[in-house]
Structure 1
Amino acid sequence: MGTRPGVSAPSDRREPGELFGPRFALFADMLAVGLFTTVASLPLITAPAALAAGCRVLRDSARTRRTATAGRYRDALRAHGLARTLIAGVVLVALGALFLLDLALAGAGLPGAAAVSVTLAAVGAVALLVGVRAAAHPAARRSWPAALRGAARRSATDPAGSVLIAVALVICAAIVWALPPLALVVAGPLALAAVSVELRAAPGRGRSPRR
């Protein structure tokens, strides 16, 4: 039975004294998580843990409607084992530095530089996409190698989801390019997009329960 015109669905109804509906609350959580993630990522080597924690907080907010707070984000960051995750951060920074060095060498006018630059850009884009999918999956809390292997597998078997995350990355980059101050919160929309794609690709989603 559909809802009558002018009557909100139960999930959209506001509690007494509530100024905004749940959709606006999720939008506010997304911006808060974006800010928390940016601050936690400032040392660079903490970026994987910071993004994974942001994804976890947004996943919980979407499921339980609990407000994203600095305390909840801190707890999620600790749950991901910040000290253990620093290894992944160090590897990420090292690979990023090597990637930039290779791009600089490819742009130095050497023979085949154009082909090398295109190849490196493609490899870097795929690696970034897989890394974002890994951070959005609960497996990142237990083991980053396992999360990356699973993300690589899902990226291949779920091309539509990979395209969605690639579009999200491009949009986030365009937003930062057009309005640099939004770099402070752009991690929030990226985390929300990644979580949405991972929930969409979760096994059993959309199947009716057995009778």
Structure 2
Amino acid sequence: MSRTRTAQTREPGEVFGPGMTLFADMLSVGLATAAACLPLLTAPAALSTACAVLRGAREDQPATAGRYFALLRRRLRPGDLLAGAVAVAGLLLLAADLALAGAGLPGAPLFAATAAVIGACAMVIALRACARPESLTAWPAALREAAQDAVRDVGGSALVLLAVATAAVCAWMLVPLAFLAPGPLALALTAVDVRRAGGSGRKFGLSGG
């Protein structure tokens, strides 16, 4: 009879527990994701693939950079590149709006606050869409489900914002950490999605001990 491996057990000869193994795998996937995001248009597909790879750890699938690139090669369809183009256009539009707000125009503070709120909401929906399994095949369906999740699961949306803020602060404090940030961010997005679906952090090896 097979023995189910839990977050508290170790295989013979294993120095660290599976939680530390997942942490190391997350960092390698994060580096692979950072490299895959460099063309910018590939960023949504790259982050979505990272979430899919980390989600597979729940079924004991390898969460490695090799599996990441193998899965990513089957993607980058026109729909994935279109999603990247829309994301880049949205970021440029938000940056332009904030720049105009900072030019001293009448009503600039209110306009800047409104643009920031809209941008934050759009970012949460986009990031939650990356964590949805539907993003592997159909972005419209992933965005639709993510928008509903953002409304129904306000706590999860707050966790997404906290994860983004943490990643941004770490990258700002030490620039090389920016290349590792996609890994923890993808893990946080996946954990939020699993949490929404009624999953357990223990299945991701996130429990203490």
CA change 1:126–1:199 in 2 (3 A) is: same
Q: Is 1:17 paired with 2:16?
A: no
Aligned position for 2:110: 115
Letter in 2 for 1:97: L
Instruction: Give ranges in structure 2 of 5+ residues lacking alignment.
Output: 201-209
CA change 1:134–1:61 in 2 (3 A) is: same
For residues 15 and 155 of structure 2, the distance between their equivalents in structure 1, rounded to whole angstroms, comes to: 36
CA change 1:155–1:164 in 2 (3 A) is: same
For residues 40 and 87 of structure 1, the distance between their equivalents in structure 2, rounded to whole angstroms, comes to: 16
TM-score, with normalisation over the residues of structure 2? 0.88
Aligned position for 1:46: 42
For residues 19 and 205 of structure 1, the distance between their equivalents in structure 2, rounded to whole angstroms, comes to: 28
User: Which aligned pairs between 1:142-153 and structure 2 lie closer than 5 A?
Assistant: 142-153=137-148
Q: Which structure: larger Rg?
A: 1
Aligned position for 1:6: none
Residue identity (%): 49
Cα shift readout 1:112-153 (whole Å, capped 9, x = no counterpart): 111111111111111111111000010101211110111010
Aligned position for 2:161: 166
Q: Is 1:139 paired with 2:134?
A: yes
CA change 1:19–1:188 in 2 (3 A) is: same
For residues 123 and 74 of structure 2, the distance between their equivalents in structure 1, rounded to whole angstroms, comes to: 23
The structure with higher relative contact order (CA 8 Å, sep 6+) is: 2
Q: Is 1:75 paired with 2:94?
A: no
Q: Which of 58, 64, 67 lines up with 1:62 in the alignment?
A: 58
Q: Is the CA contact (8 Å cut-off) linking 1:48 and 1:135 kept in structure 2?
A: yes
Aligned position for 1:89: 84
CA RMSD in angstroms, aligned pairs only: 1.6
Instruction: Give ranges in structure 1 of 5+ residues lacking alignment.
Output: 1-8, 207-211
For residues 85 and 78 of structure 1, the distance between their equivalents in structure 2, rounded to whole angstroms, comes to: 12
